[in-house]
Chain A
Amino acid sequence: MAEQRTETGSDAAVARRSGAGGDAAVARRGADSDTAVGRRSGAGGGGTPLDTERGKTTIADGVVTKVAAIAAREVPGVYVLGGGAARALGAMGQRVGISDERTQGVSVETGESEAAVDLTVVIEYGESIPQVAELLRDNISKRIEGITGLRVTEVNITVNDLHFPGDDEQQPEEPRRVE
């Protein structure tokens, strides 16, 4: 089962410190530092779908990132991936050709047989954030495990913003004060 953590922007950190309402937004299982060390060292060894006695299969991080991004977009209620800063930097990166809009807001860490995903999303206003987060975890884990054979140890989700339908409407231009 993937480790679970959902954060709602910077408020999550405040909620954790104050203990008020934080439990709903943040659910941790296991110690983060231990998990991270385990990931970096990689579980490895034979007997996994990727490391058989007949040969080894290596999946590049970029592949896992792309699969996670595709899976995240499949979930209803997700407006866009990436937060404000990530989107701004992503847009700048796209202009100079060093980043891909499709994978912004997603970062992964992979070992030889496991993967961990950090995701930043903007969610449609009105949707249940815990429900969307759970759907994201399920779908991302299912897709990554199905496509790459890597076991997903955790999917950490930061909800960076809410999208209101009116957000996309163009603001009317101010009338010119001089002709």
Chain B
Amino acid sequence: MPAPTAGQPPTTTRAELARLAARVAAKTTGVVRLSAGTPPVHVTDVPGRRLEGVSVVAAQPGCYEVTVCLVALPIALPELAEELREGVREGARITGLGDALGAIEVRVEDVVTDPPAGLLP
């Protein structure tokens, strides 16, 4: 894990991982929206806003497990999850967070059969 720079709160890595996971999920084919889950535990406060649908929890010092909870189209969900994981890993590697990223869990909370216009592949 990259050492936190002086003056930077240690939670920044969590926030960056949460933002990254949410950004990747929004671009992943078949993801309709993120969901806080039932009960709503997949929520992360990042500076300036609350991200619903992502939780980042320390698995060991300096290494975080990320859970992305989402609503999807009825398509092949294991492949969707793998695409999302791949995107998060790639993004973490590029932004120097690769060592801080542990397992990525994808929770599919619901599927929609009447998605908003423009979402169908």
Contacts and interface: CB of A to CB of B under 8 A. Distances in A.
Contact of A149 (B77, B105, B109): B77
Given A54-B104, A55-B104, A55-B105, A147 B110 contact: no
Contacts of B107: 57-58, 60
A43 interface: no
Given A56-B105, A57-B108, A70 B74 contact: yes
A30 B106 CA distance: 33
Interface string A19-54: 000000000000000000000000000000110101
Nearest to A69: B113
Given A54-B104, A55-B106, A147 B85 contact: no
B108 A60 contact: yes
Contacts of B113: 66, 70, 102
Contacts of A67: 74, 111
Contacts of B103: 54-56
Contacts of A49: 78
B105 A57 contact: yes
B81 A147 contact: no
A147 B106 CA distance: 14
Interface in B15-57: 38
Nearest to B112: A66
A112 to B, nearest CB: 12
B75 interface: yes
A118 B15 CA distance: 42
Contacts of B38: 60
Contact of B77 (A56, A62, A147): A147
B6 interface: no
A148 B85 contact: no
Contacts of B75: 147
A133 B110 CA distance: 26
A55 B78 contact: no
Interface string B97-121: 0000001111111110100000000
A146 interface: yes
Contact of A147 (B74, B82, B89, B105): B74
Given A50-B81, A55-B103, A148-B108, 16 more contacts: A49-B78, A54-B89, A54-B103, A55-B104, A56-B106, A57-B77, A57-B78, A58-B108, A60-B38, A60-B109, A63-B77, A66-B110, A102-B113, A147-B75, A148-B77, A149-B78
Interface of A: 49-50, 52, 54-60, 62-63, 66-67, 70, 102, 146-149
Interface of B: 38, 74-78, 81-82, 85, 89, 103-111, 113
